[in-house]
Structure 1
């Protein structure tokens, strides 16, 4: 299920009812007068707006022809020379290599590269060792090698709306009673059919600070 966070601010309450019709009735009326022992407070019942988001599927495909290379040493040579050295190094080395290379994409700033081989499955030759020797400038360096994954986002769908079974109470004035007592009195008021209420599944009241509540779609 999709979890949608909602910020419940100070002097607000969330009430979740069993019946959607109760929510429609209470929000349509809007203003409600609630008895809190020796005093009464006026509150507003409004729908709970849920933030807009995006639902999507992420498809990850590990390439059989590409590898990622990082930790490439900084050498005083042009970029095209570095690409040539990488191609020669991964074409055939003492560890076997991956075979004929179709393309080398080299990022000079990040010191990374993507090697693409002609033969499908060639990248599997590099799965056993995360460090690979690279011979250049009379030295042997160790490059980091990892699988290359192609990411695709599919079925992107925006969603937004309001909660069908929950109302937001705003404007709950501060009184002397503690938070739990106020929550109980609010619950009693909105459970009564004579006040337009009904059976309550959950209630959350915040007298100070704020709280985050997650709605499941």
Structure 2
């Protein structure tokens, strides 16, 4: 095929008509609108992206703060746990200390109760004031030089069974026996017993204050003759019950054994004063014999207003405990006394000895030691 024929086949472009031009314009406007729409969407996407980045940054910062706060809380919790553990250890130490103090306080209370029981047992002591003759010797002294009222001290000491009280002549012997604590006493042959030596502690009054007043119905009669107690009381009651003698109806008549005086109690309250004012009275104790002059003084009622006590240890007396009843009382007492008299046993001269076997009750009387000795005696 020739070239001319090829050229004959090509078609010439059609000229643009007005309608086609309008269509192109519309397409351009449409494309422009789509382009603008795409630009707006792109801006929205960019803005949304930036907002998401900001949110992510905020979440990251918040997460960091929460992690930091959590770490601080964990550290604080650990410190609090350690502090509470230390407090618990301190509380346990304080609790242990309080328990020990409570135990010491309970032990002290038990000791005080035991002392109180001993004091109650030892307060069964009665004493009266005997009449003493005095004479003025021409000497004077200030009130500060005057002596206080004194009385003989007597303490009743209840003994348990299987115990003994031994009083030595010398204090040094008692201290030596106490320092050895336990003693093996040979009872003859192969037989022996072991006893324990303990100090004797007594609760004694250190200061007594008494509020006294004259009893309106009682009198105290002294300077009495030596005669049978029953006859003495009968004669006194008969004499002072008679109106010519200034007396009246007698309610009670008691003899105070420790002072040798008599207390008369009248029914009326107007009798005692007249008799004490007269003071001396002649009483017929034996028919046909000379009357005996007695002295009538006021009877004082006393109320203890202040009593202070102290616990003292007898310097010469030792308590022996744990003594079994394996032989007769007298024989065992003699063997014990002989043992503690020997210097080889640490003993010495014995001033007094009292043994109370198991199953029996006894009381020892302690009184103020004589001037030649120091401390209380059995």
Query: How high is the TM-score relative to the length of structure 2?
Result: 0.33
RMSD: 3.0
Q: CA deviation at 1:2?
A: 1.1
Instruction: Number of aligned residue pairs: give it.
Output: 139
Alpha-carbon distance between aligned partners in 1 of 2:301 and 2:165, rounded to the nearest angstrom: 43
Could you report, residue by residue, the CA deviation over 1:141-173 in whole angstroms, capped at 9, with x for unpaired residues?
xxxxxxxx9966467432221111100000112
Higher strand share: 1
Corresponding position of 1:49: 201
1:7, CA displacement in angstroms? Answer: 1.2
CA shift, 1:180, in A, is 0.3
Equivalent-residue separation in structure 2 for 1:161 and 1:170 (angstroms): 20
- Contact 2:212–2:302, Cα closer than 8 Å, also in 1: yes
Q: Retained in 1: the 8 A contact 2:324–2:357?
A: no
Q: Which runs of 5+ in 2 are unaligned?
A: 1-151, 217-267, 273-299, 369-378
What's the TM-score once normalised by structure 1's chain length?
0.56
**Which ranges of 4 or more aligned residues in structure 1 deviate by more than 6 Å?**
none
Matched residue, 2:270? 128
Higher relative contact order (CA 8 A, sep 6+): 1
Distance of aligned partners of 1:25 and 1:61 in 2 relative to their CA distance in 1, 3 Å threshold: same
The C-alpha deviation readout for 1:108-159, integer Å capped at 9, x for no partner, is xxxxxxxxxxxxxxxxxx95379xxxxxxxxxxxxxxxxxx99664674322
Q: Name the structure with the higher helix share.
A: 2
Q: Equivalent residue of 1:42, what SS? A: strand
SS of 1:169's partner is strand
Is 1:25 equivalent to 2:205 in the alignment? no
1:206 equivalent among 347, 351, 356: 356
For structure 1, the residue ranges without an aligned partner over 5 or more in a row are: 68-125, 131-148
1:5 is matched with which residue: 134, 156, 161? 156
2:335 maps to 185
Matches within 5 A, 1:75-154: 128=270, 153=304
